[in-house]
Chains A and B, each alone.
Chain A
Amino acid sequence: MNPAQKIVINIDEQFPQLSQAPVIEAVLDIRAHASQPFEEETLRQALEPRLAGFRFLDSHREFQHEVRIAAGSNPEQCVRDLGWKGLRFQSEDQKKIVQFNRDGFVASRLEPYPVWTTFAEEGFDLWRIFCDIARPVEINRLGLRYINRIELPLDDPKLGDYVKHPPQPPEGLNLPYMGFMHHETFAVPGHAYAINFIRTIQPADPDTGRGPGLILDIDVFTTMGVILPTDELARCFAEMRWLKNKLFFGTITERTLENLR
């Protein structure tokens, strides 16, 4: 690989406004261990009065399903309870989900996506509540993830109509696609960020009547831990949003852009 030039991030750059934004979930994920006792019952009592417009959704335990096969013995199937992780709350309109976990905080916004400032400010307000209760000492990872879903026609969609560099069948063997999953991870030279970029097709869902969708999942994250006041956090997320936008608008075709405007 060649040495790469530093990327100049311009958080003031303006991007096209999309009235039909294809964001089906936007996520602020801040991984920071609680330094204070973080127990299920007391946490719920502390959170409920502070989360106006939200109601308790569930207590998050982690399970793992496993089948082990050893020579000379029967397969052993087990479900492991990995313990309690945290609590989830959901807004009354079911569009926002917030997680208060022992190892950090996650704010999700489901479709329809509002403007960035609304999404970010709501997320930071909830983050402050997490900080008051959990008192994290250090942030280990920031993540800003946008999952976009662009509706495709049922019969033989031409992916090149939607994205600039669609997957291509092997030259000389024009096979039709049954599916694809592209996962790229980009470094951001000069900055402690990286980007996971996943492109895939979500098949049609007969239960919901939803047709197939082209998924563009852009996840910008930090690559080293930070100790940050909230205003610095806002600047980091603004930079990560710029990277996300550059990737998104650099990927879709003019035609898609026009359809989303």
Chain B
Amino acid sequence: MSFAMTFPATRYASALTVSSRASSETSRFISQKSEEGLRLLKSSLTFGCLGKKTDDELWLQFMECREANWDGHGAEPVAEETYQFAAQFLKALPLGAPNPGLGAEADGHLTMEWYRSPHRTLSASISPEGELHYAALIGGSKAYGTEPFFGEIPEAIMNLIHRVMAR
């Protein structure tokens, strides 16, 4: 008798898988071509954040919160780096993924929230150091943690987005 070791089928994950960083002229040509293709898809209304204006919402959120005390209660400013990480995060979401609601926190982090009901919600905040702090409530289960962000959506967070937003 023989046993075949099997693994669950892989779910299509991030729209943007980050490349290893190269230096040659040809590597720049490849980056440019990849970027063009992705931008084209994401600029449609059907797919992606650019078409759904989430990118502009993020920009407005950043502009509103980039000065200290933006909430009138002594909040930290949202740093340029934080905005850049959040913009990259939105760009890396798979095509057609549900877009998050956006916000800012008093510690200067930008937050993204996927909300389906009071018992199915995920909140992820990004720091200027590129750390993603997340907390989810899915029925009776809670999940939370921290993941570094390097341009791809961490698997743990992608799985939670699917679980929270599943119909």
Taking beta carbons and an 8 Å cutoff, which residues of A are in contact with B?
1-6, 24-25, 27, 29, 31, 33, 64, 68, 80, 82-83, 88, 97, 99, 103, 106, 108, 110, 140-141, 143-145, 147, 149, 181, 183, 185, 187, 189-190, 194, 196, 198, 200, 202, 213, 215, 217, 219, 221, 223-225
Q: Please give, as numbers and ranges, the residues of chain A lying within 8 Å of B22 by CB-CB distance.
A: 25, 27, 106, 108, 145, 147
Chain B's nearest CB lies how many Å from the CB of A190?
A: 6
Which of B28-36, B103-111, B117-125 participates in binding chain A?
B28-36
Q: At the interface, yes or no: B71 with Cβ under 8 Å from chain A?
A: no
Report, nearest first, the 7 A-B pairs whose CB atoms are least far apart. A143-B20, A1-B9, A29-B20, A145-B20, A187-B10, A25-B24, A3-B6
Contacts of A189 in B (CB 8 A): 6-7, 10
Q: Nearest Cβ in chain B — how far from A177, in angstroms?
A: 14
Residues of B within 8 A of A140 (CB): 148, 150
- The contact of B24 among A31, A83, A110, A185, by CB within 8 Å, is A110
Query: Which of A3, A103, A219 is within 8 Å of B9, CB to CB?
Result: A3
Interface size, chain B (Cβ < 8 Å): 29
Given A25-B24, A181-B37, residue A145 in contact with residue B7 (CB < 8 A): no
Knowing A140-B148, A141-B150, A200-B33 are in contact, say whether A6-B5 is a contact too (CB < 8 A).
Answer: yes
Interchain CB contact under 8 A, B30 and A5: no
Q: Inside 8 A of A217's CB, which chain B residues have their CB?
A: 19, 27, 30
| Given contacts A68-B59, A140-B148, A25 and B19 within 8 Å (CB-CB) | no
Contact A147 B148 (CB under 8 A): no
Asked if B155 CB lies within 8 Å of chain A CBs, one says: yes
Given contacts A3-B7, A189-B7, contact A196 B37 (CB under 8 A): no
Partner of A202, one of B26, B80, B150: B26
The answer to whether B19 and A196 touch across the interface, beta carbons within 8 angstroms, is yes
Please tell me if B1 contacts chain A, counting CB pairs below 8 Å.
no
| CB–CB A221/B20 < 8 A | yes
Q: Is B21 an interface residue (CB 8 A)?
A: yes
- Judge whether B20 and A219 touch: CB under 8 Å: yes
Q: Known A-B contacts: A33-B148, A141-B150, A223-B155. Give 7 more (CB < 8 A).
A: A110-B24, A143-B20, A144-B20, A145-B20, A147-B24, A181-B33, A190-B7
> How many CB-defined contacts (below 8 Å) exist between A and B?
108
B4 interface hit (Cβ, 8 Å): yes
Provide the residues of chain B in CB contact with A219, threshold 8 Å: 19-20
* A5–B4 CB distance below 8 A: yes
Contact indicator A108/B7 (Cβ below 8 Å):
no
Interface residue? B140 (CB, 8 A): no
Q: Is the CB of A145 within 8 A of B34?
A: no
Q: Which residues of chain A come closer than 8 Å to B7, judged between CB atoms?
A: 3-6, 189-190
Q: Is the CB of A25 within 8 A of B23?
A: yes
CB proximity of A96 to chain B, nearest CB, Å: 10
On chain A, the residues within 8 Å of B8 by CB distance are: 3
How far is the CB of A151 from the nearest CB of chain B, in Å?
12
Please state if A108 and B24 are interface contacts (CB–CB under 8 Å).
Answer: yes
Instruction: Offer 22 A-B interface pairs, CB within 8 angstroms, sorted by A.
Output: A4-B10, A5-B4, A6-B5, A25-B22, A27-B21, A64-B84, A80-B80, A88-B23, A97-B23, A99-B21, A99-B23, A108-B22, A143-B19, A143-B20, A143-B21, A147-B30, A181-B37, A198-B30, A213-B26, A221-B17, A224-B155, A225-B148
How many angstroms from the CA of A88 to the CA of B22 in the assembled complex?
Answer: 12
B64 within 8 A of A: no
Tell me whether A149 and B26 are in contact (CB under 8 A): yes
Chain B hits for A194, CB < 8 A: 17
Interface flag for B81 (CB, 8 Å): yes
B26–A4 CB distance below 8 A: no
Cβ B17 vs Cβ A147 within 8 A = no
> CB distance A196 to B150 under 8 Å?
no
